[in-house]
Amino acid sequence: MKRKLTALLLAALMVCGSLAGCGSKITPEAEGSEGGDAPAAESTYPEKNITALVYWAAGGTTDTCVRSAINAIPDDMLSKNIIVSNVAGGSGLVGATQFVKSAADGYTIGVLNCDLVLNHALGNTDISSDQFIPLACIEQDPYLFLVPSDAPYDTFEEFVDYVKANPGTLSVGDTGSGAVPHLVYTVLNKQLGLDLKTVAYDSSADSVIATVSGECDSTITAPGAAAGQLEAGTLKAIACSGAERLAAYPDVPCMSESYEELKDMNILSWIMVVALKDTPADAVSYLQEIFTAAATSDEYRETLESLSFQAVPAMDNDEMLQFVADQAEYYASVLA
């Protein structure tokens, strides 16, 4: 019986559990041909455990989603363990570099997310999305723009007016220039003509706490990192960064609803599990099948919703590639 161990971590909260299950190997269809050629040999992949590299520390959004997705793989589909290895540092670039240097044999998989694509657009790395094969999208959420509950503005428009009346005095907490929340900050300053200061923190959880304490005047974060403070009423969400409102926060308007200058804004927190480009077809087929089953399962949807994320859209390989291309094009356009 194969066992998989999952740690669902969010900020400083750790919940550990394990599920047991055994499964059969996924094999390609035998290929027949005229003349009685022998069928293709049965695939033996996977023959050993698989390592999933996560380029950020345990407890963050990427780590939580990867572990949750692995946990949601149906037991009868998983014939070997998938073991998460956290390799943090350099806004994800340390782990990403280790991944692209690994063997393209299907026994090491990684992640492609918004931050990695942004770092390529910024010229911080040569690692690009065309080095990977998407297996499944496991997270896709707009960011929330949060302010203290006692702030003197209750809407995004009121916040913008306040900033314009008090240039250079308000700050936004984010996770640094190589992370997508900082791109939201950049767009607001550039396209709305604001004069906001920025303060970089090591994690979204840190920027949320800083906003609660008054160290920062606002923060931009994925919804899961702020769910507890929103529920406690210490913060209020006044806008989101997507083209559509968050299912978990339907009363929070999109920034694009308020300003014509932001009509094309669709800045999302998103994560895909990926294999390296030259991974054998049988391994890709197996990995796409198990992760697609996990990402679209009721178990995974319920896990995301419990953490204030929204269910991921079902996307095939071509749709995932197009989504990544669209996001990269938008990043480049606003950074130009």
For position 90, what pLDDT does the model report? 83
Identify each DSSP E strand in 12-101 by its residue range: 13-21, 50-54, 82-86
Pairing label, strands 171-174, 197-200: parallel
**Domain 144-262 is classified in which CATH homologous superfamily?**
Periplasmic binding protein-like II (3.40.190.10)
The per-residue pLDDT for range 181-193, each reduced to its tens digit, is 999 999 999 999 9
Question: Is 214 in contact with 207 (CB distance < 8 Å)?
Answer: no
CATH code given to domain 2-23+49-141+269-335: 3.40.190.150
- Topology alike, domains 2-23+49-141+269-335 and 144-262: yes
162 membership: H or E segment, kind and range: helix 156-165
The per-residue pLDDT for range 226-279, each reduced to its tens digit, is 989 999 999 999 999 999 999 889 999 999 999 999 999 999 999 999 999 999
Rounded distance, CA 252 to CA 242, Å?
Answer: 11
Domain positions in the chain are 2-23+49-141+269-335, 144-262
Side chain identity at residue 142, one-letter code: P
Question: Is 83 in contact with 52 (CB distance < 8 Å)?
Answer: yes
Three-point CA angle 12, 268, 160, nearest 5°: 95
The per-residue pLDDT for range 94-147, each reduced to its tens digit, is 999 999 999 999 999 999 999 999 999 999 999 999 999 999 999 999 999 999
